[in-house]
Amino acid sequence: MPDLIHEPVLLKESLMNLIRNYSGNYLDATAGFGGHSSGILDIINQEGTLVSNDRDQDSINYITKRFSENPNMQILKSNFSQISQALKKKNLKLKFDGIIADLGMSSYQLDNAERGFSFMRKGNLDMRMDQQQGITAKDWINTASENEIANVIWRYGEESSSRKIASEIVKKRKIKLIGTTESLCEIIVDVKKNTFYKNKKHPATKTFQGIRIFINNELGELELFLENSLELLNPKGRLCIISFHSLEDRIVKRFFRDQSRIDPNLSRLPNVQDTSSLKVIAKKIKPMASEIRLNPRSRSAVLRVAERT
Ligand SMILES: C[S@@+](CC[C@H](N)C(=O)[O-])C[C@H]1O[C@@H](n2cnc3c(N)ncnc32)[C@H](O)[C@@H]1O
């Protein structure tokens, strides 16, 4: 694997918000290739602990090697919605002073043709972040009903031509199985050929996004992870979430809002106790122009920060 396989996004901003206690416990729920994990390890002292987790075996292999010399680090492979169970399995009875999740795909996943995430690279249509479980995009797209395909592309990709694309997929797969990123991309480009030059985005962007989010249950994972994180945080512990599109960001924004206010159904009653579990610390931190210039993939990143009460 090459040396630089993922440039960490909003690194300074997230570390500044995440770490308040140098001897605390920290969880990097999406370790990827260790950009944020490495930043945390540089700041905490020998009494501090970092748990780095990812669902992708390639990432686990890489960070295991990269941080092999580090005594105050533990590595987990799990879906972050299952992090409590994974900690228990390893007998790690920890609560955290900071939890970070940098959502979505790593550059390595996107740029590696064999993983099948990119319409720009010819590869097997896989798209699973964890290749040891779940259904591949290829198996799904060749078996799902037209209606299901249209709904996924519409709901998770916000693609306005979802019905036409789904209908064309079903027509084409009757002639020949759709097995590669290239063949799926051709179908979409054919349906959307009139919009090709009008939009700056490649016509397959939204469809690929929708299928990827569905195959990895990204939004369901995020919702469960946020719920569970409350149990895992120490009082005053920080939760930092970096998201890359509005579907994710909306979930984070609403969760932070709901957990940081008094239940609106009770708020008008006299003597209501404040039972909120979070305090919002930062609403929408975006990368500076200088970061976007160096790393254009950071342009859609949004960091939100909350603190456990
Ligand atoms: C944007 S990358 C993180 C990059 C990392 N911060 C770094 O600097 O190298 C996102 C990572 O999250 C992982 N991931 C996404 N959803 C996950 C989930 N539900 N559970 C565990 N890991 C997940 C992906 O496999 C990917 O490696």
**What pLDDT, in 10s, does the model give residues 165-207?**
999 999 999 999 999 999 999 999 999 987 765 667 899 999 9
Looking at residues 140-149, what average pLDDT do you find?
Answer: 98
Angle made by CA atoms 20, 22, 26, in degrees to the nearest 5: 75
Pocket test for ligand 1, best of 106, 224, 297 (most atoms within 8 A of CB): 106
Looking at residues 24-40, what average pLDDT do you find?
Answer: 98
| Range(s) of the chain covered by CATH 1.10.150.170 | 131-215
Query: Measured between alpha carbons, how far is 297 from 174 in angstroms, rounded to an integer?
Result: 37
Fold of 131-215: DNA polymerase; domain 1 (1.10.150)
265 Cα–ligand 1 center, Å? 36
Query: Measured between alpha carbons, how far is 165 from 159 in angstroms, rounded to an integer?
Result: 9
Q: What is the pLDDT of residue 200?
A: 75
- pLDDT band at residue 274 under the 50/70/90 scheme: confident
Q: Is residue 3 over pLDDT 60?
A: no
Ligand 1 residue neighbourhood (C-beta within 6 Å): 6, 8, 30, 32-36, 54-56, 59, 79-80, 102, 104-106, 129, 221
Percent of the chain surpassing pLDDT 90: 90
User: Which residue in 211, 43, 61, 188 sits closest to 132, CA to CA?
Assistant: 61
Q: Is residue 4 over pLDDT 60?
A: no
Looking at residues 220-239, what average pLDDT do you find?
Answer: 98
Fold of 11-107+219-308: Rossmann fold (3.40.50)
Q: Is residue 24 over pLDDT 70?
A: yes
Phi, psi of 34 (to 5 degrees): 90, 15
28 Cα–ligand 1 center, Å? 9
Q: What is the pLDDT of residue 177?
A: 97
Q: Which amino acid belongs to residue 73?
A: M
User: Which residue in 167, 128, 162 sits closest to 146, CA to CA?
Assistant: 167
Measured by CA distance, the residue closest to atom 8 of ligand 1 is: 35
Looking at residues 238-252, what average pLDDT do you find?
Answer: 97
| Range(s) of the chain covered by CATH 3.40.50.150 | 11-107+219-308
Q: What is the pLDDT of residue 266?
A: 75
Q: What is the pLDDT of residue 196?
A: 61
Angle made by CA atoms 182, 142, 56, in degrees to the nearest 5: 70
- Averaged pLDDT score across all residues of the chain: 94
Q: What is the pLDDT of residue 27?
A: 98
Query: Measured between alpha carbons, how far is 128 from 126 in angstroms, rounded to an integer?
Result: 6
- Better-predicted residue by pLDDT, 124 or 265: 124
pTM, two decimal places: 0.96
- The sheet carrying 73-77 orders its strands as 73-77, 49-54, 25-28, 96-102, 233-243, 302-308, 278-285
Residues 6 or more apart from 160 whose CB is under 8 A from it? none
Question: Which atom of ligand 1 approaches the CA of 35 most closely?
Answer: 8
Q: What is the pLDDT of residue 271?
A: 76
**Per-residue pLDDT tens over the stretch 50-85:** 999 999 999 999 999 999 999 999 999 999 999 999
Pocket test for ligand 1, best of 13, 37, 52, 55 (most atoms within 8 A of CB): 55
